[in-house]
């Protein structure tokens, strides 16, 4: 079939005739696909272009090039999609792409990057610092001559995140385990506010987890007496074998420690006294 003119059918239109070298060039450049329908003398019907070109050695080269091109395009699309979510506040795309590519090698199982803030220095912004917030850690990325350094801390070790705004930018500070003060300046205000909001949410979650853990520890120290939450059924009553005076003493300790409310204390107290 070599040397015969080729017709192409796509978008409900017939194109051509083309010489085979023209078709091969169009396939190599991506203008035609090997799945496009084609016909040449000797074909009973329209067939995929790959069948027309199958007897030509140059077709294998074109097909390989097209396949590689499609894979590269797919990877670029995936990268663009992931980065686009982190470029919503006018971050420098080149800096974000670089720090994210490096940070991904450091992520642990189930860890995801939630936000990236990029420093914007007033005069020279060749090698800006960056802040990366993941669902597990707070990171500061600082460039160096042959790469970059990462300071990262688990959210439970991050406290007192603070933001102070200047005329064009803002400064983020926080203290971490051991009392070390972290500081990153010249963050665009919009990005700094987002960093601050996310950090406040993480801090609040950590405080709540600590509060619950402390309550459980105090409960255990008070003798394991549990009080049902409002709207829930009361737990089993105190066994009759327990000394009511001792039980009342434990209840009072829980009230003083803030583990139960006054109303809960009075209700349980009345229940115990009613059995005496």
pLDDT digits (tens, 9 = 90+) for 222-265: 655 555 555 555 554 444 446 777 777 788 778 777 777 788 88
**Nearest by Cα to 32 from 7, 56, 55, 57:** 7
> Residue 173: its pLDDT value, please?
93
> Residue 2: its pLDDT value, please?
45
> Residue 193: its pLDDT value, please?
94
Predicted TM-score of the model (pTM): 0.53
CA 24/CA 27 separation, integer angstroms: 5
Domain with CATH 3.30.1490 in the chain: 6-80
Phi, psi of 147 (to 5 degrees): 160, -135
Structure tokens at 56: 């030509």
Q: According to the CATH classification, is domain 6-80 in 3.30.1490?
A: yes
**Nearest by Cα to 116 from 137, 132, 103:** 132
CATH class, range 93-216: mainly beta
Tell how strand 113-118 and strand 47-48 pair up: unpaired
CA 229/CA 264 separation, integer angstroms: 9
Q: What angle do CA 37, 39, 41 make, to 5 degrees?
A: 170
Structure tokens at 226: 């549990």
Domain with CATH 2.30.29.30 in the chain: 93-216
pLDDT digits (tens, 9 = 90+) for 127-147: 889 999 999 999 999 988 778
């Amino acid at each position: 079939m070599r040397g015969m003119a080729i017709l192409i059918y796509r978008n409900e239109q017939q194109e051509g005739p083309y010489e085979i070298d023209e078709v091969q060039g169009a396939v190599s450049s991506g203008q035609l696909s090997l799945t496009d329908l084609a016909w040449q003398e000797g074909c009973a019907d329209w067939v995929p272009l790959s069948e027309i070109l199958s007897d030509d050695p140059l077709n294998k080269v074109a097909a390989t090039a097209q396949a590689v091109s499609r894979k590269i395009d797919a990877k670029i699309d995936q990268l663009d999609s992931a980065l686009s979510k982190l470029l919503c506040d006018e971050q420098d795309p080149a800096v974000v792409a670089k720090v994210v590519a490096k940070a991904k090698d450091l992520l642990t199982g189930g860890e995801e990057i939630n936000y990236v803030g990029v420093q914007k220095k007033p005069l020279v912004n060749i090698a800006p610092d960056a802040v990366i917030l993941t669902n597990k850690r707070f990171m500061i990325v600082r460039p160096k001559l042959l790469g970059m350094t990462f300071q990262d801390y688990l959210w439970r070790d991050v406290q007192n995140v603070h933001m102070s705004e200047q005329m064009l930018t803002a400064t983020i500070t926080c203290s971490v385990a051991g009392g070390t003060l972290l500081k990153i300046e010249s963050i665009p205000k919009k990005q700094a506010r987002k960093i601050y909001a996310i950090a406040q949410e993480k801090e609040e979650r950590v405080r709540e987890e600590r509060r619950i853990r402390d309550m459980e520890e105090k409960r255990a120290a008070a003798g394991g007496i549990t009080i049902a939450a409002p709207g829930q059924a009361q737990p089993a009553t105190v066994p009759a074998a327990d000394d009511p005076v001792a039980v009342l003493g434990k209840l009072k300790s829980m009230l003083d420690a803030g583990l139960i409310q006054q109303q809960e204390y009075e209700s349980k107290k009345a229940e115990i006294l009613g059995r005496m």
